[in-house]
Chains A and B, each alone.
Chain A
Amino acid sequence: MRARRDPLGSGLESGALDLVCAAASLKTGALLDQNLPERARERLEGLAATLPDLFGTLDPTCLDRIAERLGGEPGDTTFREILLLSDKSLHVIQPLTGQPGVALVAECPATSSIGLVLSAIRARVMDMEGG
């Protein structure tokens, strides 16, 4: 099954998940994969373009204070994962810890299993970071 062999290779990949993903710049919102198939690019461009508005726009000291009130440890003020859900789609943004300024953006139909999608994305991130 292709999804198992390479669940999140760039572009339209997993038949089981109908999931597309690509690396994108947190700073510019540009997709970084030059060889991304056009259909995948169309599905991901909008999500990628939002990255500069989502990351670095919330005051880190604010997140620190909220962490403190929640009983968490201050100091880690970067969102590790953002999920957006709609009737049509599930969108995921996962910054790469090994590549600062880069995130994996992914999109799949709303009918997909979210647990499977997140597992696949995390596996892909580990691959990308050489984990």
Chain B
Amino acid sequence: MSVERESSRVLPSIPVGPGLIASVLRLLAFIDDLPAGATGVLKFGEDGLILLESRKICWAVARSMRLRLTDILRNQSTPPLPREAVEEIYRRCKVDGKPIGEALVMSGLVTEAGLRVALFKHNGEAIAHLAGSGLSPDAFVSHTRTGYDPKFSFSPCEVLAMLGSLDDPARALAAQIELGNALVPDSFGAAFVRSDTTSGALVIAVDRACDLPVSDLVEVCNWTAGLFDVAHTFDREAALARATWGGHLALVTWRAKDVAFVGLCASRAAAARLVSRLESTAKSSGVIATAARYGGPA
């Protein structure tokens, strides 16, 4: 599944601008600041809402957005899904009070992966519109209703990366693949670049396990960027680093051209496996030749 590749095709109404990512960060920080199990509706007056389950984004909508989920779903297929079939399911769901996406999957019209991509785009667009209009949530209404499938919910980090990827979708896709190939169990990570569209690191890819508060993710990326900056003052070839803290936790970072990666590891063994995996990548790509020597645990 290629979220980034699709996103460039089906997100035409995101208000991309220099301030978008900063606005999105501010909005997502509201979600991060909620209690860990927060489930309910984050309201933006009459302008939109974000539905959350355990602080993950299940659904978002903004009054100013142009595309509906059904439009995105229809246009994801070639040829597009028949409008009548989609609208019939939509009508039934409205009567039954069921989520349309899952009903479409049940009907066989849409795959789970396709639904996830479509929801990701829809929610991303809604959040971009809410953020772009400078709105702040005016209320969070908790509820106990659950039932959204975790497969179809998204962390604030994922949304941030999706919007960051719009700067250069092909680069983001490559970074997502690199991240997926490199990360090991007990680790999660992100890829970022420097961009004119934001003052610090622009996160362009994360893996699905990455659910840090967005401000922390950006902070770590900025620190990592600084690490390479200062390292290059005395060794221009520095391309891989590992920092350990807290007894057994580790941060592994590496660079490939203009993209930097961060892997956060829950154990020294995970860090060793991550670097060992980078070794294999380095052998084929030659990007991080030094990693080849760093195969075992410290």
Contacts and interface: CB of A to CB of B under 8 A. Distances in A.
Nearest to B248: A72
A63 to B, nearest CB: 6
Interface of B is mostly: mixed
A129 interface: no
Contacts of B249: 66-67, 70, 72
B67 interface: no
B244 A79 contact: yes
Interface of A: 45-47, 49-50, 53-54, 57-59, 62-63, 65-67, 69-91, 110-111, 114-115, 118
Considering residues A57, A83, A84, which has the most beta carbons from chain B within 10 angstroms of its beta carbon? A84
Contact of B235 (A45, A72, A89): A89
A72 B266 contact: yes
Given A66-B216, A115-B298, A88 B244 contact: no
Interface range for B: 35 or more
Contacts of B219: 58-59, 62
Max chain B Cβ within 10 angstroms of own Cβ: one of A63, A71, A91, A111? A63
A70 B234 contact: no
17 contacts: A46-B234, A49-B230, A50-B234, A58-B219, A63-B246, A65-B213, A66-B212, A67-B246, A67-B249, A71-B266, A72-B248, A73-B246, A79-B244, A79-B245, A81-B243, A86-B238, A91-B231
A46 B246 contact: no
Contact of A65 (B216, B223, B243, B247): B216
A85 B211 contact: no
A69 B206 CA distance: 15
A82 B296 contact: no
B29 interface: no
A76 B213 CA distance: 19
Interface in B76-120: none
B127 interface: no
Contacts of A70: 249, 264-266
A69 B223 contact: no
B230 A53 contact: yes
B266 A86 contact: no
Contacts of A69: 211-212, 264
Nearest to B232: A86
Q: Which of A73, A77, A114 gathers most chain B CB within 10 Å? A: A114
Given A50-B234, A66-B212, A81 B244 contact: yes
Nearest to A80: B244
A65 B264 CA distance: 12
Interface in B199-239: 211-213, 215-216, 219-220, 223, 226-227, 230-231, 233-239
6 nearest CB pairs, A to B:
A46-B234, A86-B237, A50-B230, A85-B290, A70-B266, A86-B238
B177 to A, nearest CB: 23
B220 A62 contact: yes
Given A57-B226, A69-B211, A84 B247 contact: no
